A and B are shown apart, each in its own frame.
Chain A
Amino acid sequence: MSAPISPVRQPLITGSKTYHQITEDLCSPTERAPNATWVIAFLISVSVLGFGLFCIAWTIWKGIGTWGSNRTIGWAWDITNFVWWIGIGHAGTLISAILLLFRQKWRTGVNRAAEAMTIFAVLCAALFPGIHVGRAWVVFYFFPYPNTRGPLWPNFNSPLLWDLFAISTYFTVSLLFWYTGLVPDFATVRDRAKGIRKKVYTFLAFGWTGAAKHWQRWESLSLVLAGIATPLVLSVHTIVSFDFATSVIPGWHTTIFPPYFVAGAIFSGFAMVQTLMLITRKVLNLQDYITVEHIESMNKVILATGSIVGVAYLTELFIAWYSGYIYEQFAFFNRAVGIYWWSYFGMMACNVISPQFFWNKKLRRSITFTFFMSIFINIGMWFERFVIIATTLARDYLPSSWSFYKPTWVEVGIYLGTMGLFFTLYLIFVRVAPVVAIAEVKSILKAGGDQYVEKHKAHHEKAELEAPAHH
């Protein structure tokens, strides 16, 4: 009987890198002048952001009447976009926190960019409730601070207030986690820089020296932050789902919502990570650090969470029928074949059917296919939120109030503006900070570098050949 030998894993860093080459490869994008592609992308992003800001100003100046929302459909586009952006952010925390707890080494190639994505996505999301309140200039009334209006406190029973706390905490913790991870890498950039860049990175690096005790504390901090960020990220989308689930609207009032929303969030977040990383690795020449192995691992997560989402959709349908409750049955009938049938179809096609292609290893490892899939999933998950929100509200209890919602140019402009904001911030990030975590990649080099993996493999194969002789 042969002893169980753990299969040798695929390399996570290719190109036989040395520690110094890792530093060179990962610092160089911050050290050279931006190329034409970057400049064009940046100008487009900033222009779109500018148009978005104009639309926000228009909303605040003219009022919420500039939107397509009406008496029946009190919120639609804004909350759809809010949930969509928040969901996208979840992949960053999953990669940086949950995969750290599970000791998944492949996270080191993508965690930095994914966390940055989380922070930018949460900013985009937070914008929507901020302007939807109407009087955006007194948005701080949300927070329970001692005031002269009574004091008048917010309603702590309200899931919308829970959401405020969840999003604020999520943003803060993600930012602290991300920045603490960046500090040693900023020190690496600092120690290579000259002149004004040296001054800037000296400030950003917080006085990091690489002392053994500091690394020990840094690891302890990272681990505990990962430990608390894990339930945090689950709580955030759970609470977002409470915005709907605690209401008494058929189609919303379901206990399945929290896990279903969390799975959907991770699903869409990973799709966005794929979109960004596939472009980033190509443009910044990081194919040795973000390998097909990383892409395949993420596609596996997409397949798993996509299947959970699919099961949730079918469970909803089944329970609506099985409950015998006609209002619930109508809500789902209306979603599938009502006025917004096309958005339901888009949701089902993009979220349930398309990820199933990832059972095929070849497709899972195809970069082109993955890129198109990531776009499909982003569209599908946007449709999911639109289906849940607009379709449900358009057909409420009173047929005389039935209505139709379509966005105005102002709402489309704000949504595009958040895209502009997201990509503007991401493009600045890739210029300022190392996109791949330098120190963390170095720490897995001996385990994940191709030259070491080859050596292990040769050793392993030799042991296998010699094994029969021992029996």
Chain B
Amino acid sequence: MGHHHTSNHIIYGLYTDETDLLKAVQKAKDDHLDIFNVYTPFPVHGLDPILGLAESRLHITGFVYGLLGTLTAFLGMSWIFTRDWPVIFGGKPYWPVPSFIPITFELTVLFAAIGMVVTFYTVSGMGPGITNPILDPRITDDKFCIAFNETTATDGDINKFKSFFQETGASEVNSKEIDA
């Protein structure tokens, strides 16, 4: 995608069942067709390996955010009770480590959850008020969609896409301009 294109021309086929979709994606991979994206109404298991999607690294960010929460809570409370304003509560030491465990745990969970959710929406280009192009409104209902980008495709490629959809049993084939 260069700077010249302000929009993509997408050709897409709709399937009525996830097993047809999985077979079609496998065939597209075997035929070396470059899939633009696959859209489904629910998470279809077994799709990621065929499509060649790398495992999400979201859980790694979750660990990092969680660690940040652990450190924030533990170091924060330690600093307050030993440096900023040391107070003896009920004869306990200035640095009562066991008392810090519950809040340290809670902030670990809180940071991990907020961090992961924010990261999820950010990297997925989603969020309050954000709109993304929708190829077909039935994708969130009962249609499974494979999309190819024909913006820079040759006539030969486009014919390949069309015959692919026909061979794999797509119930409909449509095309749409979407913002790049």
Contact B56 A220 (CB under 8 A): yes
> Is A219 part of the contact surface with B, judged by Cβ < 8 Å?
yes
Contact B142 A18 (CB under 8 A): yes
**The stretch of A221-229, A347-355, A416-424 that contacts the partner chain:** A221-229
Nearest-Cβ distance from residue A228 to partner chain B, whole angstroms? 5
Contact B41 A172 (CB under 8 A): no
Contact A228 B39 (CB under 8 A): no
Contact B39 A211 (CB under 8 A): yes
Q: Which residues of B contact A192 (CB under 8 A)?
A: 137, 141
User: In the complex, A323 Cα to B87 Cα: how many Å?
Assistant: 36
User: In the complex, A208 Cα to B133 Cα: how many Å?
Assistant: 9
Nearest-Cβ distance from residue A335 to partner chain B, whole angstroms? 28
Q: Taking each of A155, A161, A203, A213, which has the highest tally of chain B beta carbons within 10 Å of its own beta carbon? A: A213
Q: Which residues of A contact B80 (CB under 8 A)?
A: 144, 153, 156
Contact A157 B99 (CB under 8 A): yes
Nearest-Cβ distance from residue B6 to partner chain A, whole angstroms? 19
Q: With A207-B126, A209-B39, A214-B126 given, can you name 5 additional A-B contacts, CB distance below 8 Å?
A: A156-B103, A165-B102, A173-B109, A206-B126, A211-B37
Contact B43 A216 (CB under 8 A): yes
> Is A439 part of the contact surface with B, judged by Cβ < 8 Å?
yes
Contact B141 A20 (CB under 8 A): yes
Contact with B along A211-244 (1 / 0, CB 8 A): 1111111111101110011011001000100100
Contact B128 A203 (CB under 8 A): yes
Interface members, chain A 239-293 (any B CB < 8 Å): 239, 242
**The stretch of A71-79, A111-119, A183-191 that contacts the partner chain:** A183-191
> Is B159 part of the contact surface with A, judged by Cβ < 8 Å?
no
Contact B120 A173 (CB under 8 A): no
Q: Which residues of B contact A144 (CB under 8 A)?
A: 76, 80
> Is A180 part of the contact surface with B, judged by Cβ < 8 Å?
yes
> Is B29 part of the contact surface with A, judged by Cβ < 8 Å?
no
Given known pairs A166-B106, A211-B39, A442-B42, the reply for A206 and B140 (CB within 8 Å) is: no
Q: For residue A180, which residue of chain B has the nearest CB?
A: B117
Contact A439 B103 (CB under 8 A): no
Q: Which residues of B contact A (CB under 8 A)?
A: 18, 37-45, 47-48, 51, 53, 56, 58-59, 62, 66, 76-77, 80-81, 84-85, 87, 89-90, 92, 96, 99-100, 102-103, 105-107, 109-110, 112-114, 116-117, 120-121, 123-134, 137-142, 145
Q: Which residues of B contact A209 (CB under 8 A)?
A: 39, 132-134, 139
Contact B141 A235 (CB under 8 A): no
Contact B59 A220 (CB under 8 A): yes
Contact B47 A206 (CB under 8 A): no
Q: Taking each of A151, A212, A231, which has the highest tally of chain B beta carbons within 10 Å of its own beta carbon? A: A212
Contact B92 A157 (CB under 8 A): yes
Nearest-Cβ distance from residue A255 to partner chain B, whole angstroms? 15
Q: Which residues of A contact B (CB under 8 A)?
A: 18-20, 23, 144, 150-153, 155-159, 161-162, 165-166, 168-169, 172-173, 176-177, 180, 183-184, 187-188, 190-192, 202-203, 206-221, 223-225, 228-229, 231-232, 235, 239, 242, 439-440, 442-443, 446
Contact B109 A207 (CB under 8 A): no
Q: For residue B62, which residue of chain A has the nearest CB?
A: A224
Q: For residue A20, which residue of chain B has the nearest CB?
A: B142
Contact of B58 among A203, A212, A220 (CB under 8 A): A220
Q: For residue A24, which residue of chain B has the nearest CB?
A: B141
Contact A206 B43 (CB under 8 A): no
User: In the complex, A158 Cα to B81 Cα: how many Å?
Assistant: 13
Contact B84 A157 (CB under 8 A): no
Contact of B113 among A173, A206, A220 (CB under 8 A): A173
30 inter-chain pairs at a CB distance below 8 angstroms, sorted by A residue, are: A19-B141, A23-B140, A156-B77, A156-B100, A157-B90, A161-B103, A162-B103, A165-B107, A169-B110, A188-B41, A188-B141, A190-B140, A191-B139, A207-B130, A207-B132, A208-B140, A210-B139, A210-B140, A211-B37, A212-B38, A212-B40, A212-B48, A215-B43, A216-B53, A217-B58, A220-B59, A224-B62, A229-B109, A442-B41, A446-B18
Given known pairs A151-B84, A206-B130, A224-B58, the reply for A439 and B117 (CB within 8 Å) is: no
Q: For residue B138, which residue of chain A has the nearest CB?
A: A191
User: In the complex, A225 Cα to B106 Cα: how many Å?
Assistant: 13
User: In the complex, A230 Cα to B110 Cα: how many Å?
Assistant: 13
Nearest-Cβ distance from residue A87 to partner chain B, whole angstroms? 18
Contact A212 B92 (CB under 8 A): no
Nearest-Cβ distance from residue B80 to partner chain A, whole angstroms? 5
Q: Which residues of A contact B113 (CB under 8 A)?
A: 169, 172-173, 176-177, 225, 228-229
Contact A169 B39 (CB under 8 A): no
Q: For residue B124, which residue of chain A has the nearest CB?
A: A214
Contact of A440 among B42, B84, B109, B130 (CB under 8 A): B42
Q: Which residues of B contact A232 (CB under 8 A)?
A: 106, 109
In the complex, the 3 A-B pairs of residues with the closest C-beta atoms, listed nearest first:
A19-B142, A191-B137, A207-B130
Q: Which residues of A contact B137 (CB under 8 A)?
A: 191-192
Q: Which residues of A contact B123 (CB under 8 A)?
A: 217
User: In the complex, A156 Cα to B90 Cα: how many Å?
Assistant: 12
Q: For residue A18, which residue of chain B has the nearest CB?
A: B142
Q: Taking each of B76, B113, B123, B125, which has the highest tally of chain A beta carbons within 10 Å of its own beta carbon? A: B113
Contact B105 A235 (CB under 8 A): yes
User: In the complex, A205 Cα to B134 Cα: how many Å?
Assistant: 12
User: In the complex, A203 Cα to B121 Cα: how many Å?
Assistant: 14
Q: Which residues of B contact A156 (CB under 8 A)?
A: 77, 80-81, 96, 99-100, 103
Q: Which residues of B contact A150 (CB under 8 A)?
A: 85
User: In the complex, A20 Cα to B143 Cα: how many Å?
Assistant: 9
Q: For residue A190, which residue of chain B has the nearest CB?
A: B140
Q: Which residues of B contact A215 (CB under 8 A)?
A: 40, 42-44
User: In the complex, A20 Cα to B16 Cα: how many Å?
Assistant: 10
Contact A157 B43 (CB under 8 A): no
Q: Which residues of A contact B128 (CB under 8 A)?
A: 203, 206
User: In the complex, A224 Cα to B117 Cα: how many Å?
Assistant: 10
User: In the complex, A20 Cα to B56 Cα: how many Å?
Assistant: 29
Q: Which residues of B contact A157 (CB under 8 A)?
A: 89-90, 92, 96, 99
